[in-house]
Structure 1
């Protein structure tokens, strides 16, 4: 059948071929929407409870469910991309394709015929869908992990006209960076981990060198019996035993000659390459981009087509934050700048 269709396409003009491609994409998007309508949800999109029962139907005939956890009703579309958006499935399919092809926000906006602000909002929603679609990493006595922190320059980019967190310093010029030597408080620590089974974790930890509590939250999920290799940071020696991990090998960075942290160091390099085209990701939304990076890492190891996988996940996926919650989201690690402002006022 495919050979017949391709043979028939040879006789079409360029404009007719483009119309056929657009019609095919629209048909695929409609099919994904039908799959989302008929899918049985795995959990409540609001509280995450997996205990729910059937409760009537919507006006369009789709099944509604009653959550026993929060007591609210929902459907397979509740808090989904296609249900909460005024854009149709075809536009979302075009945006997914443009995103995976490496298009910028402006290019995605032009492709989907939306404004730049809507394009950014669609990217954030898509990142949240990726985050909820990530597979759980493996841990246990038969798995060995390498864990280390990557330090990225803090970025305060974004529209602050409606935010109480005003710019506390002069803006960095394009291509500029933090010139403080060593691990500075102007950098943000991202804890990365990779195991021998191909699983990875990537989480924003803290400003500068992470404190024990932030480090514990960043590496939570590593179960008892897991063998963990890290650098010589003393925080790991205090945090890992509390998580039940007894096999811990710490090697000073200057003494690493046999690739003790080779997997995680390679992951750091891939992360920096991924973030480079964005020319400075705001620290406020860095966790969304880390979810995008992890999704790409899992897709790279999968035999499934990335575009088809993400299109299906978008049709059936759920978002985490509403538009208002995203606008009102506080700037992370802002207490540092508050202390700096207090110290400056005391000196004056």
Structure 2
């Protein structure tokens, strides 16, 4: 059929159908073009210091032809490379969340959904992909973001723990207790082994450390394993009155300010733990939308929220591109089976 015939048929459509057709082409062509632009940015970021083999880290790499990728509107050629040391071939997307993606034009839409914090089923409905596929996409991105780190805290460091109910959401034949409905609640009062401890430390420059460190009350050994490489004697530590914090601060020789749980004394000059408590509040509020998260994935969700808190939950072209580029900066070899069969072992 000639283009002129297609145009004539479009003119004969109702105004409503013409508007729907316009939206279809705008979304399809726009998303495909934007996605390819982000793929180009990923390539430039990875190769700014020269080509490096993703398998053996050798720089003795040559370009090795092109490979084709089908999009919703056409077929695109991208560069392939070959390492002269190990002999393996790779691309700019190898060992990134975008590796072997069959629907590249939908990735930016999915990133938008992640910034909005949508559920998998709602994202699947908006994007037009199966929610199991999006589960895999989500955790590949979060596996990469979990690797983002910093070297040392500066100045005053606020530290406090918060707790999430231990969850085996998605697991069949749970042993030792009845399955809970939509998160549920613990059968024990207070802090128990049914609770998973999440440690959050944050300095005044907003460098943030958040990680699960075990079940039940926090202990000094867990603090040392988690933070020994990030604290120095130049830091001033602000915590609540839990004895593990006091013992740890004394052991490493760091200046320490304690604030009791009764809330009567919240501030000592410039020292307080209000920033970290505010972070806890925002984290808990954001996590409620998921109706409970499987504990084995909890660190992923902590990394997700930490990234969103950094970009202030703003969804625009800059933050969408930043999320893709940051996640593609780290090696990801996670498979669906590795995710599904993983266990919480702390």
TM bucket (normalised to shorter chain) is: 0.7 to 0.9
Q: Does 1:326 align with 2:339?
A: yes
Q: Does 1:52 align with 2:58?
A: yes
Rg (Cα) greater in structure: 2
Residue number among 174, 185, 188 corresponding to 2:193 in the alignment: 185
Match of 1:279 among 291, 295, 318: 291
What TM-score results when the alignment is normalised by the length of structure 1? 0.77
From the superposition, tell whether residues 304 and 112 of structure 1 become closer, same or farther in structure 2 (CA, over 3 Å): closer
* Contact 2:120 2:131 survives alignment (8 Å): yes
| 1:346 aligned partner | none
Equivalenced residues, count = 308
Cα distance, 1:264–1:289 mapped onto 2, change above 3 Å: same
What are the residue-to-residue correspondences of 1:1-348 with 2, within 5 Å? Answer: 13-38=19-44, 39-40=46-47, 52-60=58-66, 61-65=79-83, 75-85=91-101, 87-132=102-147, 134=148, 136=150, 138-140=152-154, 143-160=155-172, 166-174=174-182, 176-220=184-228, 221-242=230-251, 244-259=252-267, 260-300=272-312, 305-314=318-327, 318-333=331-346
Residue 46 of structure 1 and its aligned partner are, at CA, apart by 6.4
Q: Deviations over 1:243-293 (max 9, x none)?
A: x45111223212552342211111110110110000001101000000001
CA displacement at 1:97 relative to structure 2: 1.6
Tell me the distance in 2 between the aligned counterparts of 1:170 and 1:308.
Answer: 43
1:131 and 1:295 in contact (8 A); partners too: no
4+ aligned runs moved over 6 Å, structure 1: 41-44, 70-73, 301-304
Distance, in Å, in 1 between the alignment partners of 2:179 and 2:150 is: 38
Q: 2:38 aligns to what SS in structure 1?
A: helix
Distance 1:176 1:262 in 2: 28
SS at match of 2:206: coil
Q: TM-score, normalised by structure 2?
A: 0.78
Distance 1:173 1:324 in 2: 25
> Match for residue 9 of structure 2?
none
Q: 1:41 to 1:105 in 2, by over 3 A?
A: farther
Question: Which sections of structure 2, spanning at least 5 residues, go unmatched?
Answer: 1-17, 67-78
CA displacement at 1:44 relative to structure 2: 6.9
Question: In 1, distance between residues paired with 2:167 and 2:239?
Answer: 27
**Pair 96,318 (structure 1): closer, same or farther in 2 beyond 3 Å:** farther
Shift of the 74–15 alpha-carbon distance from structure 1 to 2, 3 Å rule, reads closer
The 3 A distance-change label for structure 1 pair 237 and 217 is same
Mind listing any 5+ residue stretches in structure 1 that lack a counterpart? Answer: 1-11, 334-348
